[in-house]
Amino acid sequence: MEYLKRKILKDGEIKKGGILKVDSFLNHQLDIECLNEIGKEFQKLFSNMDVTKILTIEASGIAVAAISAQYFKVPVVFAKKTESRNLSEVIYVSKVYSYTKDKTYNIKVSAEYLDKKDKILIIDDFLANGSAALGLLDLAEQAGAEVVGIGIVIEKSFQDGGKKLRERNINLHSLVKVEFNDKDEIIFR
């Protein structure tokens, strides 16, 4: 997606050791025009999949998923990471390991919001080691729902999340795939 490559080159920051920081438009500040372009692109990529629901994970997946859902005209469900006394009694739970924070946490969805008839599109901002995406897949599978695709904004192609998902024959589309050369410059695959 050329628009997004240009946006990353213009507004992304590369930190030492191959960390791409997109806080100025995707992870802290949200550039709504950019999110609209992302949403339209996801709709093109998954237009013939009869998506009935978009599934994502709080917090940084929510904006991308909500804006994208406008083009699919379907609801979003976001998996919760935090304890919440208000969740229903029947929930699906999966474990996600965060490399950034070096800890494992539970992600949860109330059972009433995922149906076995759902055709689910999983959307997230980043794909690195794939732990979050696999957790969301697991939640959908617990509900007996079909995952018709996974849409990722930025895939770190030097980590193995993409490989893990593609080996499972999942309909995965990443809008851009990035890696870094030894000068910490960004390279789009």
Say if residues 25 and 3 touch (Cβ distance below 8 Å). no
Give the residue, chosen from 3, 75, 164, 179, that forms a contact with a copy of itself under the rule CB under 8 A: 75
One of 48, 86, 169, 181 touching a copy of itself (CB under 8 A): 86
Neighbouring C-alpha atoms within 13 Å toward the C-beta of 33: 3
Binding flag, residue 69, a copy of itself (CB under 8 A) = yes
Contact criterion met (CB below 8 Å) for 52 and 121? no
Helix (H) or strand (E) holding 49: none
Burial 177-188 (b: 16+ CB within 10 A, else e): bbbbeeeeebee
- Give CA 120 to chain center in angstroms: 13
**Any contact of residue 52 with a copy of itself (CB under 8 A)?**
no
CA 55 from centre of chain? 9
Q: How far apart are CA 57 and CA 155, in angstroms?
A: 16
Taking CB under 8 A as the criterion, the residue among 29, 117, 163, 187 binding a copy of itself is: 29
- Out of 1, 8, 51, 77, the only residue in the binding site for a copy of itself (CB under 8 A) is 77
Range in contact with a copy of itself (rule: CB under 8 A) among 29-37, 119-127, 128-136, 155-163: 29-37
Among 30, 45, 49, 111, interactor with a copy of itself by CB under 8 A: 30
Report the nearest approach of a copy of itself to the CB of residue 111 (Å).
11
Contacts of a copy of itself in 87-106 (CB under 8 A): 87-88, 100-101
Q: Of 134, 133, 83, nearest to 108 (Cα)?
A: 83
CB of 32 to a copy of itself, least distance (A): 5
Question: Binding-site residue total for a copy of itself (CB under 8 A)?
Answer: 43
- SS3 at position 92: strand
Binding-site ranges for a copy of itself (CB under 8 A) = 15, 19, 21, 23-25, 27-32, 35-36, 58-59, 62-63, 65-67, 69-70, 73-78, 80, 82-88, 100-101, 109-110, 112-113
